[in-house]
Structure 1
Amino acid sequence: MTELPKKEQLYELIRANPFISQQDLATQLGLSRSAVANYIATLVRERRILGRAYVLPDQRPVLCIGASNLDRKLRSIRKLALGTSNPATQDESFGGVARNIAENLARLGAPVALITAVGNDASGRALLAHAEDAGIDTRGALRLDGVSSGTYTAVLDQDGEMVVALADMALNDSLSPAFLATRQQQRASAALVVADLNLPLDSIAALLADTARDGLALVLVAVSEPKMARLPENLSGLRLLILNEGELATRVGRALDGDAAIGAACLELQRQGVQDLIVTRGACGVMYTSPGGVMRLDAPAVNVVDVTGAGDAFAAAVCWSLHSGETDLGLACRRGLQLSAMTIECEQTVCPALEPGHFDATPLDTVLD
């Protein structure tokens, strides 16, 4: 087989590890540093790479770390009957908490990158291709041979409410502290890091330590009550935790029977180190911490079509606000409720009507009041 030209060999090395140094490229290819720099400049001019992993200060992205998977939704045509066959319709799309947040952010016009794990299979390639088409930088993704990409299967009732969901997310355990260390340069160049709790406990702890050390803001998004076990006991360095009422109850180990109990639980987690919390409560709205105490916002009335992705849309709007320099968490939550409502009222996991300038073009009071 004819050996590839040096420029193509270099390109393949960068594809395999977008954060490889010029010195390592020179050593592996037997070239001088100046020759490597010339090849990289040529690839940039050809638009085959965008300056490798380096990001200009005014283009620092939101970096999303966590799950990408295929979403399968089965919706019952009539009232569900357990223990027997139910006629249903099926839809398949791309999902995963971190991936959904990243796509919402990209559609809103934010620079965004995604570190995730996929199988080196047709589904994994399709997931990454779709993300790249949406404007998401996926060069930091982990591609695994011999495993299937993750899947999430939701069963919805005839009103679009989720009855049960089954998730095959084991490959996310490959997003280990050792792997995340290979993406240190990308993480350090981010303006905001957003991670979901599909990551292993040790990886979440490593992100907390690294973001505190590097002075970065970290947002953690819960994904389910069982995976609250992946949240470290010490939350020092955490800018924001987004979770629902059941996940908060799991964390504090007791039932939460009203606003006062939720507020007390939020204060308990703040004593564990997190700066702020947002507790989503479905149709009851959200509660969030503020300098004046724990505040509450009601959710707008919506025509439910499909609730899948609503929580991820909420988190994306909050993160968009933080990335934009917004310090009012109440305004961020109002934007989150607006985007969540839009997502609930469409069939897609990520609302296709989103576009840059959305929050400037759509006043909040037209949706929430």
Structure 2
Amino acid sequence: MKRILVLGGAHIDRRGRISGETAPGASNPGAWFEEPGGGGFNAARNLARLGAHVTMISPRGGDPAGEMVTEAAYAAGVNDRPFVFLDRKTPSYTAILERDGNLVIALADMELYRYFVPRRLAIRWVREAFAANDLILFDANLPEETIVAIVSRANSLGVAVAAIAISPAKVVKLKPCICGIDHLFLNEAEAAALTGQCPDKPQDWVSLLGDIGLKSGVVTRGQRELIAFGKGGTFCLQPPSVETIADVTGAGDSLAAGVLFALMQDLPLEEALRHGVAAAALTVQSPYAVNEKLSAELLAETLALVQRAKILH
């Protein structure tokens, strides 16, 4: 069984969906929903449900929200190793959505992640966790100096390291260590923030990201073809049509989990992309950020809906 260490966001996602036409500056009828989330935590739970041995390290408050995250980790089979700050609150992301799911406004209360400083990586059990795993995955919720230290530690151990961009504002934290990252998962807005450019042709992302030192990356484009490059070549892949989309939250995180899980089974990049797209398709059909029915068997069945990746020249 492959062992994966995940460091990053594990917090509470709150989403309010307006049931009628949006009326700015007024009270809007709607429904409220909350669940554990965070890019790293979503990916960790997906990887565990697919059969990987996953350890998660993240800051957490000593509050009911933190307990909810702990329970979700246990339910998914994640080995949960948080840094608990009893006198502080667990981070949260609160979003207001229109009836069709488009974002109206969101508030990210992520102050606690500032306390995941580089010196915490020197703790003995954390050092041992780095050495004991086959892959290190982190997200850009963490402070820049901690991200740099994570990549440096993984590189020194010869352990592969992957990253999830999270947002255009946060992905820029990866610039100082971009050459040390083996796999990066990001969307077009995040790629534009990282490179400072927005090309006319999607395939140009490959050269733009390669020029800043990235070895391998997957650029998602919603329901349009994703672009990916790495040792196995350069590819594009059209996500399958999904009849019913319940919620797109967590789709990118599940795609990252599917791709990484397949790569760790020594599958080529083009086949790993199919696994990632299949995992994302299962996620958007669920009202949750992580499809609770996800399994290696269900993913294998869903692959039948995913076409082959095309080689880009």
Query: What TM-score, normalized to structure 1?
Result: 0.78
Aligned-pair distance for 1:132?
Answer: 1.8
Deviates more, 1:259-268 or 1:278-287: 259-268
Q: Of 327, 330, 333, which aligns to 2:270?
A: 330
1:164 aligned partner: 105
1:366 aligned partner: 305
Aligned-pair distance for 1:309?
Answer: 0.9
Distance in 2 (CA, whole Å) between partners of 1:85 and 1:187 is 49
Give 2:6's aligned amino acid: C
2:291 aligned partner: 351
Aligned-pair distance for 1:145?
Answer: 2.2
Q: How does 1:67-78 map to 2 (within 5 A)?
A: 67-78=9-20
Gapped runs of 5+ residues in structure 2? Answer: 309-313
1:268 aligned partner: 211
> What percent of counterpart residues are identical?
32
Question: Structure 1's 232 and 159: CA in aligned 2 closer, same or farther, altered over 3 A?
Answer: same
Question: Do structure 1's residue 90 and structure 2's residue 29 form an aligned pair?
Answer: no
2:219 aligned partner: 279
Q: In angstroms, what is the RMSD of aligned CA positions?
A: 1.8
Gapped runs of 5+ residues in structure 1? Answer: 1-58
Question: Do structure 1's residue 189 and structure 2's residue 189 form an aligned pair?
Answer: no
Distance in 2 (CA, whole Å) between partners of 1:127 and 1:195 is 17
Aligned 8 A contact 1:192 1:217 in 2: yes
Distance in 2 (CA, whole Å) between partners of 1:307 and 1:215 is 35
Query: What TM-score, normalized to structure 2?
Result: 0.91
Distance in 1 (CA, whole Å) between partners of 2:107 and 2:272 is 30
How many residue pairs align between the two structures? Answer: 305
Give 2:269's aligned amino acid: L
Question: Do structure 1's residue 105 and structure 2's residue 47 form an aligned pair?
Answer: yes
Describe the SS at the equivalent of 1:89.
strand
Runs of 4+ in 1 over 6 A off after TM superposition: none
Aligned 8 A contact 2:240 2:305 in 1: no
Give 2:264's aligned amino acid: H
Aligned-pair distance for 1:107?
Answer: 1.3
Question: Structure 1's 279 and 232: CA in aligned 2 closer, same or farther, altered over 3 A?
Answer: same
Question: Structure 1's 248 and 263: CA in aligned 2 closer, same or farther, altered over 3 A?
Answer: same
Q: Of 232, 256, 260, which aligns to 2:199?
A: 256
Question: Structure 1's 100 and 291: CA in aligned 2 closer, same or farther, altered over 3 A?
Answer: closer
Aligned 8 A contact 2:237 2:307 in 1: no
The structure that is strand-richer by fraction is 2
